[in-house]
Amino acid sequence: MRRGHELNELRLYADGGDKGEKAEVDQSFREFKRRIEAYKQEIWREIFHANPDLIKVSKEKTAVRKLEQIVDATLRLSNERGFHATSLRELSSAAGMSMGGLYAYIRNKDDLVELIHNHGRALALRFLAEQLGDINDSREKLRVAIRSYVFLCEAMRPWFHFTYMEVKNLNDKERKRVMEAEMISDEIFTKIIVAGQEQGVFRTIDPRLSSALLKAMMQDWYLKGWKYRELKVDVENFADFLQDLIERHLVPEGSTTAEAAE
């Protein structure tokens, strides 16, 4: 299976390269979710064509549909009982496939983990890259990055939860890749904060620690969803609040957020 391609793309973006054109940023989660569905299909098609040695099915449409069924069933069962407590036979049944049919797509559970992580990482990357585009204003870029990432946490909640909960059970190579992707995504926020400090928009404060704590707050959305349901806070309210909270943390004392934007 092709490895590391999406990490290289993410690292390139974090370093400020290959940004492409600025996209029209969606503010509603409903529209965000609608658009992400199309991206899911596109990435499954790419994974299908990149892995002819693994996927023994010739028809793209069939393969894409089955890959999605397999991964959706895996995430559902894993979040209910844990990935390592789930057998391939249980998975094939939940996905509506025979064992022979399942083996046409994966050889073992390690292949399955790699499919899940490759798809999720590529999907998150595409949306972050599209939403941030070539926005030059650091304050606006940070607000868009926060909103986009929070929306990803909601739209891809089963995948984020799986990645967080199962990383300790991965083999060394996969665990290293998950940790590397986490650090690279942190770096996107770090670089936005550093650029804002250089522009005089944000005050001088540890950008790496600020990014790490910001990511931890965003992770709270999918790890403790029950808490926000109790508070009657939806994903858009959460994103708005977090945008304002981080901005108040970063904007120089004595300045208003409006002044910082000038």
At 256 the pLDDT is: 53
Of the pLDDT bands very low, low, confident and very high (cuts 50, 70, 90), residue 118 is: confident
Supply the mean pLDDT for the chain. 85
Of the pLDDT bands very low, low, confident and very high (cuts 50, 70, 90), residue 170 is: confident
More confident residue, 133 or 223: 223
Average pLDDT over residues 52-73: 93
Average pLDDT over residues 129-135: 85
Domain 23-261, CATH among 1.10.30.50, 3.40.50.1360, 1.10.357.10, 1.10.287.10:
1.10.357.10
The ranges assigned to domains in the chain are: 23-261
Whether the CB-CB separation of 105 and 67 falls below 8 Å is answered with yes
> What is the rounded distance in angstroms from the CA atom of residue 30 to the CA atom of residue 27?
9
- Report the 3 state secondary structure along 202-262: CCCCCHHHHHHHHHHHHHHHHHCHHHHHHCCCCHHHHHHHHHHHHHHHHCCCCCCHHHHHC
Average pLDDT over residues 174-193: 86
> What is the rounded distance in angstroms from the CA atom of residue 16 to the CA atom of residue 155?
26
**Torsion sign (Cα): 17, 258, 131, 148:** positive
Counting residues of the chain whose pLDDT is more than 70, the rounded percentage is: 86
**Is the pLDDT at 186 greater than 60, yes or no?**
yes
At 91 the pLDDT is: 94
**Is the pLDDT at 8 greater than 90, yes or no?**
no
**Is the pLDDT at 49 greater than 60, yes or no?**
yes
